Amino acid sequence: MLNLFKTRWGLTVALIAGVVALPVLSIFWLAFSPEENIWPHLYETVLFHYVGATLVLAAGVGLLTLVAGVGAAWLVTMCRFPGRGFFQWALLLPFAVPAYVIAYVYTDLLEYAGPVQRALRGWFGWQSSREYWFPEIRSMGGAIAMLSLVLYPYVYMLARAAFLEQCGTIRAASRVLGCSPWHSFLRVSLPMARPAIAVGLSLVLMETLNDFGTVDFFAVRTLSVGIYDTWLSRGNLSGAAQIACSTLVFVVLLVALERLGRRRQRHFTSASSRRDDSYTLRGSRALAAAAFCSLLVTGGFGIPLLVLGNYVLQNFASYWDSRFIEIAGNSLLLSVAAAAATAFLGLLLAYGRRLQPGRSISALVGLSKLGYAMPGAVLAIGVLIPLAAFDNALDAFLRTHFDVSIGLLLSGSLFAVLFAYTVRFLAVAAGAIETSLEKVTPSMDRASRSLGRNSWQTLWQVHLPLIRAGVLSGALVVFVDCMKELPATLLLRPFGFETLATYVYQFASDEMLERSALGSLMIVLVGLLPVILLSRSMGRSKSRQSETADVVESTEAPSLG
């Protein structure tokens, strides 16, 4: 470990890892040394309610996304039915829709005053809600359904990549030994894909823990909502930090799940052993497969797009004003800055690991990716603590020696939001760059050094042009994630500063979905960019199966360990 700090690249990686780990350490520091210890009060009153709601939500979302993601992946990979080619990429479209946006859309459609229940009352002559039963959208079940509709693509794309890479002759052998297609799936394909499915499921649960807009709108009191209420509604930051520590327990368990899933992930196959052993579905089975995939695409993307598009077309002139343009510019500025910062830092991490491989450097790189596993509300607390401490110390120093007060220089500015974005999404950019860099042969490094180039010159003149696609893809995904990020932005933004995500949240919370439609639609359309990237990558998988897994795991499923 000591030798690590004797080189410039070792120091660089250690510095980045230390800064990224600072928010996590700050949360534990505040939680265990609070100014006002309200832990006993939380323990006796709301903590178990928050934990219970979080467990139920995670279990429900995990089960639905597992069934939807694995089922859809198997159908489009191994079965031939009408629309298969369309569904192979269309099943990724719900990934572009933030969970809070879809929650607002379906609430507007399905609540008592919405068009669906109004139509039912008109058709059957019902006069009030006492005369019929209709599921309550603003409930735990509604939150599970909304999150599942937009999160199943995590499981789908990793499961499909795993199915594509599997050796066709193994499945054929199982059929020769008497297995039906169903039993071959259960006994052969599913166990082989288990590691990839576990990774996808862990990412789904991470996003479920991070969600704030959906559960807050549906009045489901999870740990994320508890952090927000304790901090802002009750004005107790230390209590929020203590709840955040409880949330991190779930994060640790999910990281352990992800690592367990990857433990036996490697398996080998030859190109000659890959064969098209898919089979044709006919009659009702083909219809059921097409209907299942159609339900996922329509429910997760089609209906929200139609509803939002209709609202925008009806009121575009009144919504598109100077204030909205300013808010869109705010989102664009922050997202571009965060994408650039994560791409630059990710490049340094990946190249430092390449130049100085070993357990120490790998541990530091893994530490730098920890922010991706932290829910936005938890990360906001971790970011605020060190920045506020720095601001207070600097202000006290200037008051004492120069009689000048600067106030909240960092913690009350956009720097706090940008820092949170960088910490949270650094793993995404670093993963994409690492994958691209691993494909560059080491002989390129030796040739560059033999021509008199140092490590920095080799990076900028040799490697960067070769891995440009990986850098851009990682930055693109970070850009889109920042456009959608709500909890951290809501908690850290300066007074009066709005992004598209907070703009949508504010209006939708006030039951003004029409007013938030333009912002929601812009977020969805921007979210299509990584979907297009992933669709193109998966479209090339028939000839280059391993490329799909690399792109998917590096851009959307970075290692959490």
Rounded Cα distance between 373 and 34, Å, is 24
Single residue among 263, 293, 310 that ends a domain in this structure? 310
Rounded Cα distance between 300 and 22, Å, is 37
pLDDT tens-place string over residues 62-73: 999 999 999 999
**pLDDT higher than 90, residue 200:** no
Rounded Cα distance between 476 and 158, Å, is 19
Concatenating the DSSP letter of every residue in 416-439 gives HHHHHHHHHHHHHHHHHHHHHHHT
Rounded Cα distance between 325 and 112, Å, is 34
Single residue among 310, 341, 367 that ends a domain in this structure? 310
Instruction: Tokens for 129, please give them.
Output: 């809600």
Strand, helix or coil for residue 80: strand
Number of domains in the chain: 2
Range of the domain at 157: 41-310
Higher pLDDT, 415 or 275: 415
Rounded Cα distance between 48 and 54, Å, is 10
Q: How many CA atoms within 13 Å lie on the side-chain side of 492?
A: 29
Cβ proximity of 548 and 251 under 8 Å: no
Q: What is the pLDDT of residue 294?
A: 96
Q: What is the pLDDT of residue 549?
A: 40
Percentage of the chain beyond pLDDT 90 is: 28
* 239 and 213 in a common domain: yes
Rounded Cα distance between 455 and 465, Å, is 15
Q: What is the pLDDT confidence band of residue 4, given thresholds at 50, 70 and 90?
A: low
Cβ proximity of 533 and 330 under 8 Å: no
Q: What is the pLDDT confidence band of residue 356, given thresholds at 50, 70 and 90?
A: confident
Q: What are phi and psi of 279, to 5 degrees?
A: -130, 155
Instruction: Tokens for 378, please give them.
Output: 């938890």
* Rounded (10°) angle between helices 8-32 and 237-262: 130
Instruction: Tokens for 87, please give them.
Output: 């569904």
* 163 and 76 in a common domain: yes
Q: What is the pLDDT of residue 540?
A: 58
Query: Of 305, 192, 244, which is closest to residue 491 (Cα–Cα)?
Result: 244
Query: Of 154, 30, 2, which is closest to residue 558 (Cα–Cα)?
Result: 154
Cβ proximity of 334 and 325 under 8 Å: no
Q: What is the pLDDT of residue 260?
A: 67
* 129 and 61 in a common domain: yes
**pLDDT higher than 60, residue 21:** yes
* 392 and 283 in a common domain: no
Dihedral angle of Cα 164, 204, 484, 220, to the nearest 10 degrees: 150
**162-187 burial string, b = 16+ CB within 10 Å, else e?**
bbbbbbeebbeebeeeebebeebbee
Q: What is the pLDDT of residue 459?
A: 80
Q: What is the pLDDT of residue 268?
A: 46
Instruction: Tokens for 345, please give them.
Output: 């830092």
* 262 and 135 in a common domain: yes
* 128 and 93 in a common domain: yes
* 347 and 306 in a common domain: no
C-alpha distances out from residue 181 to 74, 314, 361, Å: 11, 50, 45
Picking from 23-32, 239-248, 547-556, which range would have the lowest pLDDT averaged per residue? 547-556
Helices (H), 451-499: 455-458, 464-466, 468-484, 487-492
DSSP 279: E
pTM exceeds 0.85 for this model: no
Rounded Cα distance between 420 and 375, Å, is 11
Q: What is the pLDDT of residue 556?
A: 43
pLDDT tens-place string over residues 45-87: 888 899 999 999 999 999 999 999 999 998 998 888 999 889 9
Cβ proximity of 556 and 533 under 8 Å: no
CATH code where residue 519 lies = 1.10.3720.10
Cβ proximity of 376 and 420 under 8 Å: yes
pLDDT tens-place string over residues 235-250: 778 888 888 888 888 8
Q: What is the pLDDT of residue 547?
A: 43
* 501 and 429 in a common domain: yes
* 488 and 387 in a common domain: yes
Neighbours of 358 (CB within 10 A): 12
* 5 and 112 in a common domain: no
Query: Of 481, 376, 509, which is closest to residue 98 (Cα–Cα)?
Result: 481
Longest alpha-carbon distance in the chain: 86
* 329 and 377 in a common domain: yes
Single residue among 310, 339, 357 that ends a domain in this structure? 310
* 136 and 5 in a common domain: no
Rounded Cα distance between 368 and 21, Å, is 7
